[in-house]
């Protein structure tokens, strides 16, 4: 079974802090994704990566950056957390196009910025 | 961009009932997935179904790509089926970027 893990289930941070959200997958997937989910707005793609050290902006990249130094790990960074970044963050991974069976999601991190 | 619409937005049923959830999409897609979001927020893969019909226990799904819709069937519903069901589609080249519908919230009462 594919396993995607996230570093924290719940996280509380203060405004202005630098926040790291970590995601690890164990299935040698090329693609990795970060989404956020908000009531009324659904799931929106923040960033994705299709290879080590490669990254592409999703629909809402502002205020975020990412890092992928190893194939199995994809980090989301909030450089200076703000209250409007309070949300549910979901990481996903998949095999490269044409080889896979879709995206697999981690358990999510509920981030609260106070 | 592509639009994904799910219906109904909310569905309340008694245990044992059957249900059909619908997903319409506005353009051709490469792939389509159905997910169940459990009460703790995790998205559980149900089906990867760009076309055709698949079954897994009490759940089945059908995608008619030429008519741009997919259906998720749940038979003999159980209270553990409660939650939000999402349809998501993939368009374009390169990495598999998913566009999600707004979900159907299913409540199964005992």
CATH, residue B8: 2.60.40.10
Which range (A6-20, B35-49, B84-98) has the least confidence? B84-98
Q: Where are the domains of chain A?
A: 1-8+27-99
Considering CB atoms only, which of B41, B94, B98 is closest to A103?
B98
Q: For an interface test with B, which of A25, A47, A103, A109 has the most B Cβ atoms less than 10 Å from its Cβ?
A: A103
Residue A28's SS3 state is: coil
> Taking a C-beta distance cutoff of 8 angstroms, is the pair A103, B105 a contact?
no
CATH fold group of domain A1-8+27-99 = Immunoglobulin-like (2.60.40)
What is the structure's pLDDT at B29? 87
What confidence tens digit (pLDDT) does each residue in B41-81 have?
889 999 999 999 999 999 999 999 999 999 999 999 999 99
Domain of B100 in residue numbering reads as 4-109
- Chain A residue with minimum CA distance to B102: A42
Domain count, chain B: 1
What confidence tens digit (pLDDT) does each residue in A15-70 have?
999 999 999 999 899 999 999 999 988 899 999 998 898 999 999 999 999 999 99
- Chain B residue with minimum CA distance to A108: B42
What is the structure's pLDDT at B97? 81
Cβ separation A97–B95 shorter than 8 A: yes
> Taking a C-beta distance cutoff of 8 angstroms, is the pair A42, A29 a contact?
no
Cβ separation B96–A97 shorter than 8 A: yes
Cβ-proximal residues to A23 (8 Å cutoff; 6+ apart), any chain: A4, A5, A6, A7, A32, A34, A73, A74, A75, A76, A91, A93, A106
Q: β-strand A10-13 against A109-113: which pairing, if any? A: parallel
Q: List the structure tokens of B46.
A: 């149900």
Average pLDDT of span A73-90: 97
For chains A and B, CB pairs below 8 A equal 62
- A contacts of B86 (beta carbons < 8 Å): 43
Confidence of residue B38 (pLDDT cuts 50, 70, 90): confident
């Amino acid at each position: 079974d594919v396993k995607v893990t996230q570093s924290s289930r719940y996280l509380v941070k203060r405004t202005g802090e630098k926040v790291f959200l970590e995601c690890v997958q164990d299935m040698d997937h090329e693609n990795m994704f970060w989404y956020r989910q908000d009531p009324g707005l659904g799931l929106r793609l923040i960033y994705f990566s299709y290879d080590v050290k490669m990254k592409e902006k999703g629909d809402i990249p502002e205020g975020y950056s990412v890092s992928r130094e190893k194939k199995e790990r994809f980090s989301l960074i909030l450089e200076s957390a703000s209250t409007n970044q309070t949300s549910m963050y979901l990481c996903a991974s998949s095999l490269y196009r044409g080889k896979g069976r879709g995206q697999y999601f981690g358990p999510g991190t509920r981030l609260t910025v106070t | 961009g592509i639009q994904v619409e799910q219906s109904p937005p909310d569905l309340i049923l008694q245990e044992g009932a059957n249900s059909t959830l619908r997903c319409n999409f506005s353009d051709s897609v490469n792939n389509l997935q159905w997910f169940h979001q459990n009460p703790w927020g995790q998205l559980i893969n149900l089906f990867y179904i760009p076309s055709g019909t698949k079954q897994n226990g009490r759940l089945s799904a059908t995608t008619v790509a030429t008519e741009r819709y997919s259906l998720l069937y749940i038979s003999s519903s159980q209270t553990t089926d409660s939650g939000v069901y999402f349809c998501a589609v993939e368009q374009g080249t390169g990495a598999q970027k998913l566009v999600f519908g707004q979900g159907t919230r299913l409540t199964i009462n005992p």
